[in-house]
Every structure is written in structure tokens, then in C-alpha cells.
Structure 1
Amino acid sequence: MTAKPDCPQKQDARVNGTTQTDDAGPVTRGSMSRTLPDICFELQAKIEAFLAEQTDDHVLRNVQSQIKVSMGVITEALRRYGPDHLSLSYNGGKDCLVLLVLILACLPSCASHSSPSTSHTATTNSTAVPASENALSSPATLPGQPLQAIYIVSSDPFSEVEDFVAGSAERYHLDLKRYALPMRPALEAYLEDRPAIRAIFLGTRRTDPHGEFLTHFDPTDEGWPQFIRIHPVIDWHYVEIWAFIRRLQIPFCDLYNRGFTSLGGVTNTRPNPALAVGGDASKFRPAYELRDDDEERLGRD
């Protein structure tokens, strides 16, 4: 089965992640002309600076620790499979946004060591070792191709999400393929379109549905398209995701500013009632003010 969402005859600005604006503001001519290496080295420098900070804030210290573990997982994935065989599941949400930034920040250091391991299929359930602090600054040549990504569209997507996915794909030079299909046929179609893909990065966290027993590297379940699922941010907490985004000043979807804490579709997602202002169901605090992992999905049916 092959989906055809990127038909060149269509001029939909959301196809293949091309658009002129996103929820973080206009994609200016200057930002569109920035190369992938420019972006990767900038993000790498931001993360290096953050990791070098001395802070008494326990959340920020936890984020620093989480970054090192996650970048170790990403580095191991690049070593095992190589960028030509890797993809990212990207829907514009906060978790996969953090994951995208971490992957791009790893590319300068990992590029010269990213040829796939000959034994990668034998160790699919291992937990990666945290990255060395010195590994971030290793000189390397970036791969010439953008990061491959798949966007599986909700059956009733928010226009804000669609626009943010398109704008951020443009901003970060994603090679994004968009499928308006249920998850299983979307993955089947993607692997038919991109048969070289062997593993896909996912922004799943431990508190997400079915996330409780996942490891950093897991094969897909029986009956599903076969690839390795990679979960670099599996053990991040909700507050740590937002601390990373805000500390590094990463643009994010505007729905989060309006009280949404988990993004689904228009018919099954609403602002989180735990963020209602004074019991008023029409006013909500931003998503980053929520503190409890267990309350993250209160806005999802």
C-alpha cells in the first residue's frame, strides 16, 4: 500500500513540510536559507552551553542528566544503523520536538562514526550508555541529506498542528513524508516508499499509553511493519520536557500556550482542565505550568 500525500501536482503548503509560516512566527527568508549544518552546530552549541551550566535547580540538573542519556541512545542508533536507515516519527508535539533537537545536535559529532554496525540486529533491546561529555565537541562532517521523518496525520488535525509541523519541517530541513492514514497502514506505506528504513526514533515517554515496559531499543510487535523502535526520551518527565524547550528557547506549537498539554485531533483533544484559570472553562494557563505527569492527558478523550 502506498499513500500519495506528496503528489507534486498539489500545492498544499502542508505537504512535505513546506510552508511560509509556523506558529513560532514567520519562516523568514534568512531562516529558510540557513543550512542544515548551521542549524545542527547551533543546537549542539546550545546544548553544550546548557550542560556546562552549574545550577541549584533540581529540574534543570535532571534535564542535564537526561540529555546525556538520550544523546547516548541517539549516538548508538547512528552507529548501528547510519542516517540512511533511520527516520523520526514527527507530529509537532513537545516530546518529538525535544527528540528532533537532540538528534540534530548529535549529528556533528556522530557523522564520522555513523556507518551501520554489522551486528545491529543482534542487540535490539539493549540500553545505551550515556554519551561522554566530550563526545559533543568531536569534529566531524555532517551527512549531506536531511533527517528522514514521517508525519502520521490525525483524522481531524488541528490547523495549528498542521502549520507547525510544516513550518518546523522547513526550519529544520526535515525530509518529511505525510500520511493521512491510520498508524499501521501509514507505517506500511512509509516503509514501502522508504524501504531502506530499519529503525525509527519515537518521542514516546514512560507515562504514554503502552510506554511502561519499553526500552531504548524495541522491535515492533508481531503483525506490525517490522523495524526497530528507538526511544531516547522514554524516561523524561513532563516538567523536564518543558524545561528543555524553554531553557533552549525552542519554538513550539501555539496550542500549548492555550492550555493544551497533549495534542491529538480536534474531536478528542481540549485544553487541560487542570490548567483552567479560577475554574473558568474558557481560560487556561500554558502547558508548561503543569507539574504532574499523571495530569498530562486529562485533555484527551
Structure 2
Amino acid sequence: MPTPTPAASSMRRTLPDICFEIRNKIDAFLCEETDDDVLRKVQNQVRVSIDVIGEALRRYGLEHVSLSYNGGKDCLVLLVLIMACLPAWASSSRPSPPDFDVTTMSTPPQAPTSESAVSSNAAPTTRPLQAIYIVSPHPFAEVEDFVCSSAEQYHLDLKRYALPMRPALEAYLKDRPAVKAIFLGTRRTDPHGEFLSHFNPTDEGWPQFMRVHPVIDWHYVEIWAFIRHLGIPFCELYNRGFTSLGGVTDTRPNPALAVRGEASKFRPAYELRDDDEERLGRD
């Protein structure tokens, strides 16, 4: 399947419109009846992740959270799920009685009773989601392009740092001192992910904030099932056999996806099935 390309008009759509469209897609997906075991598991994973994101928004508020974003598949899924949660969070956090909101041209109804019960008539916040992009020392041009285009598409307030992780986080929190929690697309099979939970403070000696891991228990095939079932645009490198994106000096197409008899041809990333083989293309 080729990478979906967002229409030029989608780049000019408002943040509320984008949030509502995503939320409606996810609500429809959660209501689907399917015989596909992977999709059923994805539905359960989505429900858990939405609850974690909603809890983080209730604890900290949108102005105090951020997203670690590098254009990879895991943080892309996380970004889409956060977008889906913003209408419910904004509606439930809006003072009562609500006033007419000229930024969204709608009158917010009463707050929904749960994250999953959001009405498509609720008025989401127009505050962009804050995000940090820690750039690889030798980034792929395709990754840079996708980060730029998707940040524009989803209206991210993105800060870019070409620094190692610790000084990048220190610089970011200096630039954004209100940030108290950062969403991460870490999964349990990632390095250092084995013992993480949904909420973990940073370790001693690191910049202090709450790390939030809504997709920690997702499996590789579930990430791709979600992306492809919902038609989410993704970085084109994944169509060339890359399964885990780093920089040009430490990342290559996954050998497990090599087409037999053709040394330079690889199947797309979403055809890989085993979590343990995901990082075979990383040095």
C-alpha cells in the first residue's frame, strides 16, 4: 500500500476540524465488529491509551504537557490518539455555563461523562499541542520532511533541537518552563522500556518531568494495523523496508524484509510480524 498523501487543503484545516475528524474515525473504529484478531487487540489498546492520555490531560492540563515527536510510527500513533482526546478534554475543562466560542463557531455542550462519550458538537481547544523534536546527528531527509509536513498538518507547536537527548531536554524545559509532563511513544520492546509503566518520573540527574507512555504495551503489528486501518500518512522510508528510524549512519532497511534474490529490494515495514525483529536494521 503506498503512503497516503494528505491533500493540500488539509494543511489549511483548523485544529478543531482535524481533532473532530480523527475522533470520529477512532470512535467508528472502536464500534466496528471484526473477526480480525489483531484489530480487536488494537481496539482494546486504543481504549487503554485514550484513558492514559485523558488522565494526563486532567492531571496537568494541555498547557503543561508536550509530546516527544520524531516522525516515527510509534509517536505518530500517539500523536493521533492525543488529537482524538482534545475535544473531550476541552469540553470537560471548559467553565460552566459555556459561552459562544468564536474560534470554533460552536457552542460547547455539557461536558461528556467519559473520554469515549465525546460529542462531535463539542468545541475543542484551539491551543496547539506542544512538541519537542530531538534531531538525529545525521537525519534522513525523508524524516525531516515528514516531521515538517506532519507538524504543519496537526498544528504542532514544535521546537527542534540538534543536541543529544539530555541537553536537548534541558534546553527545551528552559524554553518551555511550563511543561510538567511529556508524552513518549516508547513501547515495552524498546531499549529501556521493559519496566516502564504509564506514568514514570524522569531518573535522578535528568531534567525533571513526568514521562507518560500511553502506547507502552502496544505490539509492532498493532501499531501498523492502526496506522493502515485509519489511513494515517506516514514517513515514506517505511515503504522501503525501514522498521525503526534513527540516522543515516546507524539505520538501514530491515534484513528480515529483504526480497529473496534481490539484494537491494525490501518489503514494506508493515509486513514484519515479530517484535523481536523490529530493530534488526539498527546498529
TM-score, with structure 1 as normaliser: 0.84
Which residue of structure 2 aligns with residue 235 of structure 1?
Answer: 217
Q: Distance in 1 between matches of 2:140 and 2:64?
A: 30
Matched, 1:92 2:71: yes
Equivalent residue of 1:150, what SS?
strand
Paired amino acid for 2:239: N
Q: CA 1:138 to 1:81, structure 2 compared with 1: closer, same or farther past 3 Å?
A: farther
- The Cα shift of 1:143 comes to 1.7
Q: CA 1:185 to 1:114, structure 2 compared with 1: closer, same or farther past 3 Å?
A: farther
Report the number of matched residues: 263
Which residue of structure 1 aligns with residue 31 of structure 2?
Answer: 52
Q: Distance in 1 between matches of 2:67 and 2:248?
A: 24
Matched, 1:211 2:190: no
User: Are 2:257 and 2:269, in contact at CA under 8 Å, matched by a contact in 1?
Assistant: yes
Gapped runs of 5+ residues in structure 1? 1-22, 116-130
The correspondence of residues 1-301 of structure 1 with structure 2, limited to 5 A, is 25=5, 28=8, 30-114=9-93, 134-137=116-119, 140-301=122-283
Which residue of structure 1 aligns with residue 106 of structure 2?
Answer: none
Q: Distance in 1 between matches of 2:127 and 2:195?
A: 34
Equivalent residue of 2:264, what SS?
strand
- The Cα shift of 1:167 comes to 0.3
Paired amino acid for 2:247: G
Q: Distance in 1 between matches of 2:204 and 2:261?
A: 46
Q: Distance in 2 between matches of 1:187 and 1:226?
A: 9
- The Cα shift of 1:141 comes to 2.6
User: Are 1:146 and 1:173, in contact at CA under 8 Å, matched by a contact in 2?
Assistant: yes
Q: Distance in 2 between matches of 1:239 and 1:26?
A: 23
Equivalent residue of 2:125, what SS?
coil
User: Are 2:138 and 2:248, in contact at CA under 8 Å, matched by a contact in 1?
Assistant: yes
Equivalent residue of 2:204, what SS?
coil
Gapped runs of 5+ residues in structure 2? 95-112
Q: Distance in 1 between matches of 2:59 and 2:122?
A: 17
- The Cα shift of 1:59 comes to 0.1
- The Cα shift of 1:237 comes to 0.2
Q: Distance in 2 between matches of 1:258 and 1:265?
A: 15
Q: Distance in 2 between matches of 1:43 and 1:217?
A: 25
User: Are 1:198 and 1:228, in contact at CA under 8 Å, matched by a contact in 2?
Assistant: yes
- The Cα shift of 1:33 comes to 1.7
TM-score, with structure 2 as normaliser: 0.90
Equivalent residue of 1:277, what SS?
coil
Q: What is the percent sequence identity of the aligned residues?
A: 78
Q: Provide Cα deviations, 1:174-201, integer angstroms capped at 9, x if missing partner.
A: 0000000000000000000000000000
Q: Provide Cα deviations, 1:50-94, integer angstroms capped at 9, x if missing partner.
A: 001000100000000000000000000000000000000000000
- The Cα shift of 1:111 comes to 1.0
- The Cα shift of 1:139 comes to 5.4
Q: Distance in 1 between matches of 2:57 and 2:122?
A: 14
User: Are 1:261 and 1:271, in contact at CA under 8 Å, matched by a contact in 2?
Assistant: yes
Q: Distance in 1 between matches of 2:115 and 2:89?
A: 13
